[in-house]
Structure 1
């Protein structure tokens, strides 16, 4: 126990009173978790089967597939923060989250079916366009329902351990759906002698309908907590700045972003590794077996990880799980033709570690949201969930697209024995790159500071604020006054449209400076985006040349630049208000002092797990 924990324990503020909330019923956990069965099942054919299906069956050049994936995922990532903000600001009879589940799930099911079933007449560039459009629509509608669904979880309970079990149930359904989707293609082809197109037709119908039914059942049965629905949310841009000041969240997000590379690459490369490195007699059947082993062992290990987390804490349990993924992934590099049994053992070994991260990280994220409420007085589940989703997606885009483009540039030939350099590239990308990223993610995750003792103290501080009393930040010892609704609070949120540097330049160089800063940054951002788009269009004007790996990176750059442009556009009107002198200079100086103090006090002490 470190000094922060000792102080809390000695002071008696972190007691069992914060776990008094009634435990969630099994019905609630099932209703909340079950929709993830269908949602997760859809991911398998999209990320595992579709790239190879479109490359080897539909005959879309790999370079164009990589580019289509990059474009679609960039637009998908851009929609996340907007959807999070919209959900947090929604006030309807059904609540903030449920209306979007009712709308998004059926639309996503339709897009999923279309993605899996391109018309047989489409070839080459036309098929790539079909893939890109349906891919974009799938992820757009996926964002509409999944962000509100994930944001609902932290609202259902604030109990430290009950959250772990809630997310464990959700991820149990996630893994179950993943297993079913993993083995289904092999079973359907072997037992019923179906072609690839027939298999994907059946899967498109089944999972599209299942997604709609399960989400409608959740939305029409499980009610949102009225006290959370009634709470005021915040402006989007200041919310972004305050979220990034949340040090525990920044640590957790950084670890997750780096670790997302370790998840994106194997998902895309496993079919290629299986077919062209291991070279089994029946690649489809063996791939189903490998996926079933990975997700199956992740599923059966969940109760073990829940017990471990209760005993040693969420962080220590999560850190232990890294070892399995790192060691299992690195050893796969040593495998070659005929090593199917060894690959299966290593896949299962890594799958045990995979199960821990599925539910522990969202549970830890929910604790971070409580810490945010301690300082802001607002509930921002969807906005934090959007961050959690958006930034890893931008990292995962090149992780999924670039490996495919690299194979194309090295001379990959569909449905043939590959050259030694292509085989080596597949082995290195599939095994070594994710293992390296997992090591980096582990080193970042070690710094996460919120323990059960600290979390109980955070909830106590929120209760003290509700009574109008000051609270203590349990990680830093800083005094945290209750947020004061009204003019002062509104001014604080308004000034958070601007960085400390921008406010200092405003005070030093004149009222027009904020507008100039915002316009300059917006112009630079849109310029980068436009130039990137021009470059991509120049590269893809003909199927006669492969667009190459660099094109996928440029697409990601265009998407990021567009997101930054939108961010600055939303700051233009506040900049004009600031330039008009609406906020006195002494108020700005006081705000700058508070920001500096918060940044200093927000550096958490290292807490034991």
Structure 2
């Protein structure tokens, strides 16, 4: 075991400080999902397909860095534990590369802009990996309790949304406020530069505060036995056997479809807000709060649902409910029975639908994140290896990759329906954003519902998890007893 069952329960302060680090990840996420495509496409003037393809290709680096960092943090042995050295070292390079992403050199060609987005984007994603993967893998070390893992996961997701939504709200309301030169504030280049400066500072602060705030728990960790040194081939074979866990494969299959939808939705929301709903930057800022509202409600909904019907069942049901609320505004508008643009009830109605969508979607994600932690012990029983870093690296890589695939799909849809760079919302043909909605809704439903079906293959529940913990404790006790018996004759 790594989480000592005799350690004192996690206090509220520790949960808050642990979750606080996700603010930095949230800032990075909102940059890539919501602003990067619009900034380079509509402001800088780079073709949407090139921008979205650069974002997608950058994820190939994550395919290498995530498992490496996860495996490395599993095997590291220091007096600061296995995870904290990586967390501290990530802070400065992650924030500096984030800053550079929104300060591209002037006068670049389309091809040069593509390579700039790709290279700097790779740096941002790689450096934040050095915090996010070890920090995620810290969760099973902090506690082995079935319900407490859901609780700390909910704090982690809440702060990730606080970082992303908070920065989106501030950017749309203040940094991208309309000016005489830029009556459509979303097209103001200075606003994106201010976003990058503030976002980089927030990212640096969040990483350092969270890393410092969890150091005191290291003394309660039980360091796993040091693994034998393996060559690259044997390491890959070992990783393959670890990832063969049926429950983990079910999580990955669910997440692959769901997070493709998440990436597509995040990238398209600002397009729908600008071109379908006809909203200004202040109204878009108000609508960003719905995500934070949903994430806050998920702090209570996810643990409650886990206690009532178990993590798997709750995650599945909430995913289905989420897609119903997420698609309804578009279905109603296409059917001609939703509020028209300019109606004072339009923004409140969109807020309510989106808040419910986010509450159910985030709660489902929280439960799945906690389910990964429960896979760790069951896998340890089968393989004899403790591999939190690898599991969370693979899970995070899946989220990044499929979200990037979703952003790429969004870019393709934008190009396909004919939303040209710099197009004025006041002059766009109303049929164009409606075509975008017609393509978006079926994709959202298929991805969410199709992903939820895979969760039926996940079989770990409260009783089986507690049985795994008890068996690991029994094995640890037997190993300690055998070690004492061997040591006595030697004395």
TM-score (norm: length of structure 1): 0.69
- 2:21–2:211 contact (8 Å) kept in structure 1: no
Q: Which residue of 1 aligns with 2:485?
A: none
Structure 1 unaligned blocks of 5 or more: 1-17, 470-481, 483-609
CA distance in structure 1 between the aligned counterparts of 2:260 and 2:250, rounded to whole angstroms: 16
CA distance in structure 2 between the aligned counterparts of 1:343 and 1:220, rounded to whole angstroms: 39
CA distance in structure 1 between the aligned counterparts of 2:477 and 2:5, rounded to whole angstroms: 19
Cα distance, 1:406–1:168 mapped onto 2, change above 3 Å: closer
CA distance in structure 2 between the aligned counterparts of 1:59 and 1:147, rounded to whole angstroms: 34
Question: 1:26-54, CA deviations, whole angstroms, 9 ceiling, x for partnerless residues?
Answer: 23212211111232123113210110111
TM-score (norm: length of structure 2): 0.85
Asked if 1:298 corresponds to 2:295, the answer is yes
CA distance in structure 2 between the aligned counterparts of 1:104 and 1:289, rounded to whole angstroms: 32
Q: Which residue of 2 aligns with 1:207?
A: 199
Asked if 1:231 corresponds to 2:230, the answer is no
Question: Which of the numbers 53, 57, 61 marks the counterpart of 1:67?
Answer: 53
Asked if 1:250 corresponds to 2:249, the answer is yes
Bigger shift: 185-194 or 80-89?
185-194
Structure 2 unaligned blocks of 5 or more: 335-339, 483-491
Cα distance, 1:348–1:454 mapped onto 2, change above 3 Å: same
Deviation at 1:147, TM superposition (A): 0.6
- 2:88–2:211 contact (8 Å) kept in structure 1: yes
Spell out the pairing of 1:94-105 with structure 2 (5 A cutoff).
Answer: 94-105=80-91
- 1:305–1:356 contact (8 Å) kept in structure 2: yes
Question: Which of the numbers 324, 328, 344 marks the counterpart of 1:327?
Answer: 324
Aligned residues: 451
Question: 1:125-184, CA deviations, whole angstroms, 9 ceiling, x for partnerless residues?
Answer: 333332222111111111121111111111111011111111122222122222211211
Deviation at 1:20, TM superposition (A): 5.8
- 2:315–2:365 contact (8 Å) kept in structure 1: no
Q: Which residue of 1 aligns with 2:444?
A: 434
Spell out the pairing of 1:19-30 with structure 2 (5 A cutoff).
Answer: 21-30=7-16
- 1:74–1:397 contact (8 Å) kept in structure 2: no
Asked if 1:313 corresponds to 2:310, the answer is yes
Cα distance, 1:180–1:23 mapped onto 2, change above 3 Å: same
CA distance in structure 2 between the aligned counterparts of 1:233 and 1:286, rounded to whole angstroms: 55
Question: Which of the numbers 445, 452, 461 marks the counterpart of 1:451?
Answer: 461
Q: Which residue of 2 aligns with 1:169?
A: 155
Asked if 1:402 corresponds to 2:409, the answer is yes
CA distance in structure 1 between the aligned counterparts of 2:202 and 2:295, rounded to whole angstroms: 23
Deviation at 1:291, TM superposition (A): 2.1
Question: Which of the numbers 195, 199, 209 marks the counterpart of 1:217?
Answer: 209
Spell out the pairing of 1:499-518 with structure 2 (5 A cutoff).
Answer: none
Per the alignment, in what secondary structure is the counterpart of residue 264 of structure 1? helix
Cα distance, 1:466–1:230 mapped onto 2, change above 3 Å: closer
Q: Which residue of 1 aligns with 2:124?
A: 138
CA distance in structure 2 between the aligned counterparts of 1:230 and 1:349, rounded to whole angstroms: 42
Q: Which residue of 2 aligns with 1:572?
A: none
Asked if 1:344 corresponds to 2:351, the answer is yes
Q: Which residue of 2 aligns with 1:373?
A: 380
Question: Which of the numbers 188, 197, 201 marks the counterpart of 2:189?
Answer: 197
Highest relative contact order (Cα 8 Å, sep 6+), 1 or 2? 2
- 1:45–1:181 contact (8 Å) kept in structure 2: no
Per the alignment, in what secondary structure is the counterpart of residue 229 of structure 1? coil
Question: 1:7-27, CA deviations, whole angstroms, 9 ceiling, x for partnerless residues?
Answer: xxxxxxxxxxx9765311223
Q: Which residue of 2 aligns with 1:559?
A: none
CA distance in structure 1 between the aligned counterparts of 2:127 and 2:250, rounded to whole angstroms: 29
CA distance in structure 1 between the aligned counterparts of 2:161 and 2:53, rounded to whole angstroms: 29
Deviation at 1:455, TM superposition (A): 0.7
Question: 1:302-329, CA deviations, whole angstroms, 9 ceiling, x for partnerless residues?
Answer: 2133223223322232223123212122
- 1:99–1:219 contact (8 Å) kept in structure 2: no
Question: 1:218-259, CA deviations, whole angstroms, 9 ceiling, x for partnerless residues?
Answer: 334523356543433475313322223311112222112221
Question: 1:526-562, CA deviations, whole angstroms, 9 ceiling, x for partnerless residues?
Answer: xxxxxxxxxxxxxxxxxxxxxxxxxxxxxxxxxxxxx
Cα distance, 1:298–1:431 mapped onto 2, change above 3 Å: farther
- 2:18–2:213 contact (8 Å) kept in structure 1: no
Structure number with greater Rg is: 1
Cα distance, 1:20–1:103 mapped onto 2, change above 3 Å: closer
Cα distance, 1:436–1:158 mapped onto 2, change above 3 Å: same
Question: Which of the numbers 403, 413, 425 marks the counterpart of 2:420?
Answer: 413
Asked if 1:87 corresponds to 2:73, the answer is yes
Cα distance, 1:365–1:210 mapped onto 2, change above 3 Å: same
Per the alignment, in what secondary structure is the counterpart of residue 138 of structure 2? helix
Question: 1:358-389, CA deviations, whole angstroms, 9 ceiling, x for partnerless residues?
Answer: 32111111011011111222211111111112
CA distance in structure 2 between the aligned counterparts of 1:41 and 1:368, rounded to whole angstroms: 29
Question: Which of the numbers 3, 15, 20 marks the counterpart of 1:34?
Answer: 20
